[in-house]
Structure 1
Amino acid sequence: MLNQQFTRRQVLGSLAGTSAAVAWGASLPAVHAAETDKPVAFALVSDTHYLANKESPGELFADSAAVTSQLISTLNALPGKAITAEAGGGMVAALHGVIHAGDLIDTGDKSGGAHEKMQATEFAAFEHDFGLNGSDGKLKFPCYEVHGNHDAPRGTGLVLDGIKARNQKRPGLKNLSANGLHYSWDWGPADHQVHFINLGIVVGSSQDKENPRRYNPLDSLEFLQDDLQKNVGDSGRPVVITHHVDVQRYSTPCDADPKNSAKEWHPCDARGFHAALAKYNVIAILYGHTHSRSVLKWNGTQTRTEQGLDLFNVDNGAHFRSDTQAFFYFEVTPSKLTVRELATTDRWQTANWTPQVWTRELKKA
């Protein structure tokens, strides 16, 4: 079932050599070449946590440098890679780009001592590796990132300034927020265009002064509402949204409980986010943060459900403390969404497709 959640480690350990196909309400149909011809294809990574050496803050910590470098090499080699039968078969298409769901660096949530210099080193390494447009970094594809709690939990700082500067040079944007942080773009041909929106750490309003937020949403909800109205409207076009923090566990009643101010995502913001999406064809909501993989449905509450918006929580992509990493590979055709996971147990020295695939039929615009 879609809502049955497995960690990547559980899947690799218990399903090796077996097929664990997962579909929305049906068994997985064969993935035919005609349906995947020139899809909108992209990779989703998160939680790279670039870490500088505290004793020598102008240098990356060796383990961080090694695993992030190997991740980039793995992403660059992705197009044309064969997909195992257990993961649905076929071959990886040409990538439109890579989406990064946040926690680009590790020390953006810290201050004092060497941390300011560490942050500068870490973000410079991220930019050197991921680049912006597919030709100015080690990554061969355009990169579209959001910030996470290890980047800028207070809503200010070097990483936010860096993303804003990147947005001024980012090609092909459809929309950019007044604060320069949130943005949207389209991928795909005119008759098969997917609209993408990047919204930062959480989605919410900064206008509610009576109920403090742990993480400043920086008016991301207002930008989302405006962008959907202006750039999607009643077209029925598919929409993909990325933020950093997982949303379902914070989807409790919206009230004035003082405890809500300590939560990573204020429940009133989570509810407002869900309501803002009600009339649009949102085919995927993407995030990281938990350092584990789950795929589930969301109806605006904490309740496990078979109906609702599709959430994709991607595992850590290059964390310096872990041998195991993973990322998602997405394909969107006019009729279908197909998602696979590529994972490693040795810091991207080798990688294997998780023997599982998520697929769903899409309604036509």
Structure 2
Amino acid sequence: MKRLILALLAAPLGVALLGPAGAAPSEEAGVTFIVTSDSHYVSSKNLERIDRNKVTIERMNAIPGTAWPDKLGGGKVGTPRGVLALGDLIDDGDKRDETPVQWRHFEKQFGLDGTDGLLKYPVFEGWGNHDGPPVGKEKFGFSVQAKIKERTVARKKAGRIGNVSENGLHYSWDWDKVHFVQTNLYPADTQHAKVRYSLPWHDPQGALAFVKDDLKASVGDSGRPVIIVSHCGVDTDWWHPEDWAAFYAAVKPYNVIAYFYGHTGTGPRRYKPEGEDRVLDCVNTGQSEKGSVVAEVTEKRLRLAFHAKKDAKAEQVEWEWKYPLDKPVTAGK
């Protein structure tokens, strides 16, 4: 597995990802959005995490007009279309009396549509390995995945998303020409036969099949930019390396400009199976209590960075930009 992870780091940052080579960066207005993960809302221990998440969300609300760092070309951050929350929304996904409390903290701070919580933008969340088992497999009568399905119905009804998987879990949407796919835990269909780890919690429930069907129907040969998100990345040992390669093969025909995920840390990583020539730019979005990734896509460019607290536990929080990524993209048809 180490050989796979390290072998993928041969191409320089800024190369086009699984799509045609891009043109020079442009300063034109584009699609701005925020990505975060691992909010890990709690109910009885480490309660200060809730306040740290609150500070991050308040910063998200204030981000429009903030200056991009000079190394990303400067200018002002636009108004985000929404926030992508990539799993481990809460800390205990099936714990008596605690899971519902933790979920209420998530709902109160993140809300759903930008009007019903602290956050002032719509939310597009998926579940992670802390968020409980598939619907019906929970032991204590409260299912986070059932709540996410309910919220996805509401998103669909409001017109904020387009395609939803048959099981109601995975979904996709468009912001201008950019196509987004939420695959929840990780983009595979079932847990790999060589992995026997914490089922049924780690069942991806048909995510890769949805990716294949959705991209074929929603993107086709248009060459439009695609962004895929999940909780886990290609540095997660219970998402098997053979499945990483299967995911790569599924998205290779498309102009996938980034793969966002959480779970293991913060910062950009890059992946390609042995024998392939194009890298997949993978962006780990860190923990909500520490900050969030701000991203912008124009017709010719993707730029992003982690907008981070210098010290997440400080009473007076100072902010900085970390892990910048700036690359050319193509807009497609």
- Specify the TM-score bucket, using the shorter chain as the normaliser: 0.7 to 0.9
1:274-332 Cα deviation digits (max 9, x unpaired): 11001000000000001x2231221135x9x98411110111112xxxxxx13211000
Superposition deviation, residue 175 in structure 1: 0.5
1:246 to 230, 233, 245: 233
Superposition deviation, residue 128 in structure 1: 1.3
2:266 aligns to what? Answer: 293
Distance 2:118 2:305 in 1: 24
Distance 1:38 1:82, change over 3 A: same
* 2:165 corresponds to 1:177: yes
Q: Assess if the C-alpha contact under 8 Å between 1:87 and 1:356 holds in 2.
A: no
1:218 aligns to what? Answer: 205
2:302 aligns to what? Answer: 337
2:242 aligns to what? Answer: 268
**3-state SS of paired residue (2:97):** helix
How many positions carry a matched residue from both structures? 302
Equivalent position amino acid for 2:272 in 1: N
Superposition deviation, residue 228 in structure 1: 0.5
Distance 1:213 1:176, change over 3 A: farther
Superposition deviation, residue 129 in structure 1: 1.0
**3-state SS of paired residue (1:36):** coil
1:196 aligns to what? Answer: 180
Distance 1:307 1:271 in 2: 13
Distance 1:95 1:36, change over 3 A: farther
In structure 1, stretches of 5+ residues that fail to align are: 5-21, 55-60, 251-262, 319-324
Superposition deviation, residue 206 in structure 1: 3.0
Q: Identity rate of aligned residues, in percent?
A: 35
In structure 2, stretches of 5+ residues that fail to align are: 7-11, 17-23
User: How does the TM-score come out when normalised to structure 2?
Assistant: 0.83
Superposition deviation, residue 71 in structure 1: 1.4
2:292 aligns to what? Answer: 327
> Which structure 2 residues correspond to residues 1-365 of structure 1 after superposition, within 5 A?
23-24=13-14, 35-53=26-44, 62-86=47-71, 88-108=73-93, 111=94, 115-152=95-132, 156-157=137-138, 158-170=143-155, 171=158, 172-188=160-176, 193-206=177-190, 214=197, 215-247=202-234, 249=235, 263-290=237-264, 292-300=265-273, 307-318=278-289, 325-347=290-312, 349-354=316-321, 357-365=324-332
Q: Assess if the C-alpha contact under 8 Å between 1:173 and 1:183 holds in 2.
A: yes
Superposition deviation, residue 213 in structure 1: 5.4
Distance 1:53 1:92, change over 3 A: same
Query: Cα RMSD (Å) of the superposition?
Result: 2.6
1:12 aligns to what? Answer: none
1:228-271 Cα deviation digits (max 9, x unpaired): 11100111110000011122x36xxxxxxxxxxxx421333222
Q: Assess if the C-alpha contact under 8 Å between 1:86 and 1:355 holds in 2.
A: no
Q: Assess if the C-alpha contact under 8 Å between 1:87 and 1:354 holds in 2.
A: no
Distance 1:207 1:286, change over 3 A: closer
**3-state SS of paired residue (1:186):** strand
1:327-364 Cα deviation digits (max 9, x unpaired): 21100000001112211133384242326531111124
1:322 aligns to what? Answer: none
Distance 1:67 1:312 in 2: 22
* Deviates further, 82-91 or 119-128: 82-91
Distance 1:201 1:101 in 2: 8
Distance 1:272 1:306 in 2: 16
1:13 aligns to what? Answer: none
> After the TM superposition, which segments of 4 or more aligned residues of structure 1 sit over 3 Å from their partners?
153-157, 210-214
Q: Assess if the C-alpha contact under 8 Å between 1:44 and 1:327 holds in 2.
A: yes
